[in-house]
Chains A and B, each alone.
Chain A
Amino acid sequence: MADPVVFEALVNRENVMSSAENFVLHLLLQATAAAKGQGVNGVRLPLNLGVVIDRSGSMYDERRLEFVVEAVKFLVDNLEPDDRVAIVAFADQAHIVAAGDQIRDKAAVKRAIDDIDMLEIGGGTQMALGMKAAIEEVKKNLAASRLNRVLVLTDGQTYEEMACLELARANKAQMSFSAMGVGAEFNEKLLMQVAQETGGKYHYIGDSAQIPQIFEDELQGLRAVTARNGRFDLALSQGVQIREAFRASPEIYSLGEPLLDAERKISYAVGDLEGGVPASILLSLVLPPRKPGVVRLARAAFHYELPGVGERELAADVTVNYTLDRALASKANGRVMNLVDQVAIAKLQAKAEEEFKQGNVDRATKLLTNAIASTQKVGNVKATQALSGFMEQIKKTQTLESKAAKTTLLQAQAVVRKTQMLDPEALKELKDLE
């Protein structure tokens, strides 16, 4: 059977100048699992979910709670008899609305969800309590053959933020956490970390009417998983350093300080793979000067589990040719460069945000101007608009305190974070060609 996962290790330039200086080379590691029905067994993975719902006072604004209730009922309606979903509401306390295995009686579960606003649990925000209760419920039905995930939705700042992050970190080996932030008052850094560190997804929901669609997207994403526990392993040759590592698809975000172990190895877990959605990492390497010739930079591998079959590994050697031929060395891989461009934009947006929070408005504006020049160059109209909107806001208000400023910031983050991938139509054309 042909491998259901395609693994590619591509450098942005296959030929580099043989010179007297260190230089930067980008390495793209990308793994794409085949979609269900495209040569994959299509083993159905039962779900084991915990849904954590914020029932603080602010959730009554803009019909937020109403939309959440609708979304969760939709979720319940679309589960199979062997799926498990526990529903937890939290405010000052947490309350288990439905335990994991009560899903057998969908009507009763939906009635309980309808009564969420009758719960006497106060009006504050103690998200850690909600997460803890959901985690305990998910653990009761935990199985390696299940997709185990906690979905958290909140619209505000919570007490004990560190406790929330620590709960996610402590349990990430057994379950992933997806986090949804509604409105403009939640802590996006916290929700991003909870999701990105555990293999889940972070969603910014500006308009509460979008809540049901986000839940539907989460469910579809889980149903589309065809390969599990993906991990890129890299062993670098002597002299090669990593200066930066970014997740490059389906979302763009920093992977923090790259730390090689004693054997010059490093690993990056990318979670479960949805069929047809490439998971990729972009590494910026620093290479030493060398005389002309082909050199191996690293050995790269992608490790994953095929449900019902077992563990698999795909490997590739990463080489580069040092040359004195300038014309040869000027050729770049368009696909890799496109991701380099997109990561550069995301970096600039994050840097501008940091500068602005420190009060350096001029510097933040300069960085955003350069980011916008790039979004225009790559033809990303939405990103150009979102970044321009953010820049106008900070020029106008000079502060991030207003709702308008926070909203344009969250919108700008959301747009540059989402990798611009090949259109589904063109992807189909690609499949026909293969």
Chain B
Amino acid sequence: MIKCSECGYENTEGLDYCDSCGAALTHAAPAAETAPAQEAAAATAPSAEVGSEEGHGAEPAAAEAQAAQAAAAAPAEAPQPSATPSLPPGSKVKLKIVRGGRKGQEFPLEEGNNVIGRFDPESGAFPEVDLEADDPEAKVSRKHALIKVENGKITIEDIGSLNGTYVNRAPRLQPGQPVELKGGDEIIVGKTFFQVVVETPS
């Protein structure tokens, strides 16, 4: 269960918003260190039924689950799948091309500012994420978007691109209005589709 930090309501695992007050839930690592409940005779039966099928089998599982919960109560090092993610120290953030251009190509992002754009011959500046090679039709502006990795958060903002920056298929970003990113998010710049990849230290 995930306890809502705002109202204390106990929510089912996997939820991103509190069922009671709607606040974004921050996930601790689910009780996953231990193996799951004992072998179920019918692999499809939900946990309640499993407990009743094997009488004394239920107790060790319950004790294990409780121990795992206690362990999980300590600050989790797993990356938060959603809500307000905080990057654990030592995390690596990358953009990976998933469509268009050099599919599979990865662009590691540095702490601080990362400009997405193309090489600017006038100033000689190379952006951190240079799409010159992937953008033959010049749909990417020289200074297209800015990704900031700081204080445990990743944000992206459009810095005045011509063709727009899109996150998770939402309408194009307003220039100057940063939006928060998390692992798995999709960014479209020109005709290139990126996925945000977060690697945490294990």
Q: Which residues of A contact B18 (CB under 8 A)?
A: 370
Looking at A22, A287, A420, which has the most chain B CB atoms within 10 Å of its CB? Answer: A22
With contacts A20-B61, A331-B183 taken as known, whether A326 is within 8 angstroms of B32 at the C-beta atoms is yes
Q: Which residues of B contact A378 (CB under 8 A)?
A: 170, 179
22 of the cross-chain contacts (CB-CB < 8 Å) are: A13-B81, A18-B36, A19-B36, A21-B47, A24-B12, A239-B46, A291-B35, A324-B35, A327-B199, A332-B182, A347-B22, A366-B21, A367-B21, A374-B17, A374-B24, A377-B24, A421-B171, A422-B166, A423-B172, A425-B172, A426-B188, A433-B100
Q: Is B31 an interface residue (CB 8 A)?
A: yes
Of chain B, the residue at the smallest CB distance from A16 is B14
Q: Which residues of A contact B139 (CB under 8 A)?
A: 429
With contacts A23-B12, A23-B30 taken as known, whether A335 is within 8 angstroms of B186 at the C-beta atoms is yes
A332:B184 contact, CB within 8 angstroms: yes
- Taking CB atoms and an 8 Å cut-off, the chain A residues in 314-357 that contact chain B are 324, 326-327, 329-335, 337-338, 340-341, 344, 347-348, 351
1/0 contact trace for A66-96 toward B, CB 8 Å?
0000000000000000000000000000000
For the complex formed, measure the closest distance between the CB of B114 and the CB atoms of chain A, giving whole angstroms: 18
Q: How far is A348 from B169 in the complex, measured between Cα atoms in Å?
A: 22
Q: Which residues of A contact B166 (CB under 8 A)?
A: 422-423, 426
The stretch of B37-45, B122-130, B144-152 in contact with A is B37-45
B13:A21 contact, CB within 8 angstroms: yes
Q: How far is A344 from B17 in the complex, measured between Cα atoms in Å?
A: 7
Q: Is A289 an interface residue (CB 8 A)?
A: yes
1/0 contact trace for A141-157 toward B, CB 8 Å?
00000000000000000
Q: Is B23 an interface residue (CB 8 A)?
A: yes
For the complex formed, measure the closest distance between the CB of B2 and the CB atoms of chain A, giving whole angstroms: 10
Q: Is A174 an interface residue (CB 8 A)?
A: no
A348:B22 contact, CB within 8 angstroms: yes
Q: Is A25 an interface residue (CB 8 A)?
A: yes
Q: Among A24, A291, A333, A433, point to the contact of B14 (Cβ < 8 A).
A: A24
The 5 closest A-B pairs by CB, nearest first: A24-B14, A238-B44, A23-B13, A23-B14, A338-B168
With contacts A22-B46, A331-B81, A367-B21 taken as known, whether A422 is within 8 angstroms of B31 at the C-beta atoms is no
B13:A19 contact, CB within 8 angstroms: yes
Of chain B, the residue at the smallest CB distance from A368 is B22
Q: Which residues of B contact A423 (CB under 8 A)?
A: 164, 166, 171-172
Q: Which residues of B contact A330 (CB under 8 A)?
A: 78-81, 183
A367:B22 contact, CB within 8 angstroms: yes
Q: How far is A288 from B183 in the complex, measured between Cα atoms in Å?
A: 25
Which B residues are within 8 Å of any A CB, using their own CB? Answer: 1, 6, 12-18, 21-24, 29-32, 34-37, 39, 42-47, 61, 64-65, 68, 78-82, 84, 99-100, 139, 163-164, 166-174, 177, 179-180, 182-186, 188, 190-191, 195-196, 199-200, 202
Q: Which residues of A contact B177 (CB under 8 A)?
A: 379, 381
B24:A20 contact, CB within 8 angstroms: no
For the complex formed, measure the closest distance between the CB of B26 and the CB atoms of chain A, giving whole angstroms: 13
Q: Which residues of A contact B167 (CB under 8 A)?
A: 334, 379
Q: How far is A91 from B64 in the complex, measured between Cα atoms in Å?
A: 69
Q: Which residues of A contact B179 (CB under 8 A)?
A: 377-379
Q: Is A371 an interface residue (CB 8 A)?
A: yes
Q: Interface residues of A: mostly helix, strand, loop or mixed?
A: mixed
B29:A20 contact, CB within 8 angstroms: no
Q: Is A373 an interface residue (CB 8 A)?
A: yes
B32:A288 contact, CB within 8 angstroms: no
**Count of A residues near B, CB < 8 Å?**
58
Q: Which residues of B contact A17 (CB under 8 A)?
A: 13, 30, 32
B32:A22 contact, CB within 8 angstroms: no
Q: Is A237 an interface residue (CB 8 A)?
A: yes
Q: Is A290 an interface residue (CB 8 A)?
A: yes
- Taking CB atoms and an 8 Å cut-off, the chain A residues in 416-434 that contact chain B are 420-423, 425-426, 429, 432-433
Q: Which residues of A contact B43 (CB under 8 A)?
A: 290-291
Q: Which residues of B contact A58 (CB under 8 A)?
A: none
A291:B36 contact, CB within 8 angstroms: yes
Q: Which residues of A contact B30 (CB under 8 A)?
A: 17, 19, 21, 23
Q: How far is A373 from B18 in the complex, measured between Cα atoms in Å?
A: 13
With contacts A331-B184, A335-B186 taken as known, whether A326 is within 8 angstroms of B78 at the C-beta atoms is yes
A432:B191 contact, CB within 8 angstroms: yes
Looking at B12, B18, B163, B174, which has the most chain A CB atoms within 10 Å of its CB? Answer: B12
Q: Which residues of A contact B1 (CB under 8 A)?
A: 21
Q: Which residues of B contact A22 (CB under 8 A)?
A: 12-13, 46-47
Q: How far is A238 from B46 in the complex, measured between Cα atoms in Å?
A: 9
B170:A338 contact, CB within 8 angstroms: yes
Q: Which residues of B contact A381 (CB under 8 A)?
A: 174, 177
Q: How far is A366 from B23 in the complex, measured between Cα atoms in Å?
A: 9
Q: How far is A332 from B186 in the complex, measured between Cα atoms in Å?
A: 10
Looking at A237, A333, A370, which has the most chain B CB atoms within 10 Å of its CB? Answer: A370
For the complex formed, measure the closest distance between the CB of A235 and the CB atoms of chain B, giving whole angstroms: 14
Q: Which residues of A contact B32 (CB under 8 A)?
A: 17-19, 324, 326, 329
Q: Which residues of A contact B80 (CB under 8 A)?
A: 330
Q: How far is A22 from B1 in the complex, measured between Cα atoms in Å?
A: 9
Of chain B, the residue at the smallest CB distance from A380 is B170
Of chain B, the residue at the smallest CB distance from A238 is B44
